[in-house]
Structure 1
């Protein structure tokens, strides 16, 4: 069966919708998020717990760094199996429990959300399917508003999850600069979609393995990219913090080894670029995502929003790479759109 053209895959067309969807999402959710943020300021939770799988769990990584760096609230990822398999009781009274899901019906996620609610946590659901079981049991529902996503590879729902997290953090902190930047995000996403990352597509056409690096807020972008390499291109990729990669994994990096580095434009940027240059000096094939880097990064209206722009540019490139390598990104082998785990 012939593969579709680059701009005719579901993945391409769904990812291209992200800017308009997020603009509508911000307007629709403003009041609900402002209400939740006011509750959180009036009664600050002792900590935040996230629960998710797949791309949604990468969004949870972004939530961890954003909430910890901007609000100082410890944010931890709860393994879904703790509640669904081990049935371990948890002490969550007063905590904010954020469940992130596209479908809102995976049994393990539902079991943990129910347990968190019973334990006295406030359950907030970031969910795309608004009439899902998860939405029905949550105290607060923040609809992602991404609409039907038919490609197995999640794109617009992932970016919508990050956008919802950023909107919540901005309102919770009362950060005028970040709130203003959110208004400019849709236009920046359109610019990101137009960036030329063909060098990455050409360079990885025959690759077998690679590392994807990020740090802090940028780690979620690295995790999401590594997953997409595997599921859409059949290309083994591992995501690492640019600090953690030096604790063993860097021994694998030598001449010709591919490395993609998302350099977050904040205090972590210099360290990530330094690691990338160290690998380049070894003869590794390195691409940096940064202002003035090997792959262009659309100007972010706020550093905290840079990961969304890097991922948006990446989605267009990975769609093209999948087709170049003979894969249909909409139909990865052995995968379904909704994965229900227990």
Structure 2
């Protein structure tokens, strides 16, 4: 059992993200340009993503960028449609993006087979270029995250985000976004050095909380909630800033913790309004990014492009999640009942 946060695999692997992202940008540009060219053409009219767990959260982030950059709808494929129900789908004119760290989960493999049979152009984003998923798809884009042995995915998640952002910016011909992505490793290093020690006492003994975000920040909120469950045994539910104002608001009571990721784009106002409303009703609110009155602000670099800010926020969050896990007497590298590769059908 590690006793200091810097002794865990999670800490070391998350800290490698800046170098891995730099290597990915340098080595994948040619392959991504080919994928982006196909995506931007009239041959593709929609994108279908397929993923589980952290990879699924990455596709939520990618959805916002891809739709804005290409004007083409992005939807999530339900793996059970192929693996449980065996349904045949017509996916002609679709790009099928399968995102998987291992590339070995049976339901994703069956989904990729079904997508290919249905006429889709299939692309695998995986950290294992020799995986069965890579063999199945028309094109494989390696995440290049390097070996990841902690059960909790960190650098591989960040590399999934940057790969999706790279595809979106390239497809949209967005030179500003591509330039910001190239400079992102330096900002990731800066984000990694920050501590959120003030938040530890608030969440060390907590049993439940909401994690919220909106737009490009929503996928990050979903990933943060998963990591809190996975590494700290803390029941965290991710909700968009819009959805939390509906039925879930009835759960909020005096002292109820809410962790809100405030993106640096047009979505920030709705998140700010949510935090202000919850704080006025007694919730203990923590904000990542822009400060909000009556909430504890957890600072984080913004970077060169607000669309990439959520990547910096999750990088700093990983350091905090590792520290929180240890403070709660857990081992972030070995969550109970879990293993690195989850095989579902």
Smaller-chain TM-score bracket: over 0.9
Match of 1:141 in 2: 140
Match of 1:39 in 2: 38
Match of 1:77 in 2: 76
Distance 2:260 2:41 in 1: 40
Match of 1:284 in 2: 283
1:309 matches 2:308? no
Secondary structure of 2:308's aligned partner: helix
Number of aligned residue pairs: 341
Contact 2:212 2:258 in 1 (8 A): yes
Distance 2:101 2:175 in 1: 29
Match of 1:220 in 2: 219
Contact 2:264 2:309 in 1 (8 A): yes
1:337 aligned to 335, 340, 345, which one?
A: 340
Contact 2:263 2:310 in 1 (8 A): yes
- How do 1:77-156 residues align onto structure 2 when only pairs under 5 Å count? 77-156=76-155
Contact 1:48 1:95 in 2 (8 A): yes
Match of 1:159 in 2: 158
User: Which 5+ residue runs of structure 2 have no aligned equivalent?
Assistant: none
- How do 1:131-280 residues align onto structure 2 when only pairs under 5 Å count? 131-280=130-279
Supply the RMSD in Å over aligned alpha carbons. 1.0
Q: How far did residue 44 of structure 1 move?
A: 4.4
Contact 2:40 2:70 in 1 (8 A): no
1:30 matches 2:29? yes
Contact 1:3 1:326 in 2 (8 A): no
Superposed CA deviations along residues 167-199 of structure 1, whole A, max 9, x for unmatched, are: 001111010110110111001101111122112
Superposed CA deviations along residues 248-299 of structure 1, whole A, max 9, x for unmatched, are: 0011111100000001111110110110011111121110111345000212
Distance 1:22 1:44 in 2: 30
TM-score with structure 1 setting the length: 0.98
Distance 2:89 2:225 in 1: 31
TM-score with structure 2 setting the length: 0.97
Match of 1:297 in 2: 300
- How do 1:48-59 residues align onto structure 2 when only pairs under 5 Å count? 48-59=47-58
Distance 1:44 1:197 in 2: 47
Q: How far did residue 85 of structure 1 move?
A: 0.3
Distance 1:211 1:125 in 2: 32
Secondary structure of 1:243's aligned partner: helix
Distance 2:44 2:201 in 1: 48
Contact 2:252 2:283 in 1 (8 A): yes
Distance 2:38 2:241 in 1: 36
Q: How far did residue 4 of structure 1 move?
A: 3.1
Contact 1:256 1:284 in 2 (8 A): yes
Match of 2:325 in 1: 322
Q: How far did residue 43 of structure 1 move?
A: 3.2
Secondary structure of 1:304's aligned partner: coil
Distance 2:3 2:42 in 1: 52
Q: How far did residue 201 of structure 1 move?
A: 2.1
Superposed CA deviations along residues 316-340 of structure 1, whole A, max 9, x for unmatched, are: 0000000000000000000010000
Following TM superposition, the consecutive aligned residue runs of length 4 or more in structure 1 with deviations greater than 3 angstroms are: none
Secondary structure of 1:260's aligned partner: strand
Secondary structure of 1:177's aligned partner: helix
Contact 1:201 1:318 in 2 (8 A): no
Contact 1:14 1:149 in 2 (8 A): yes
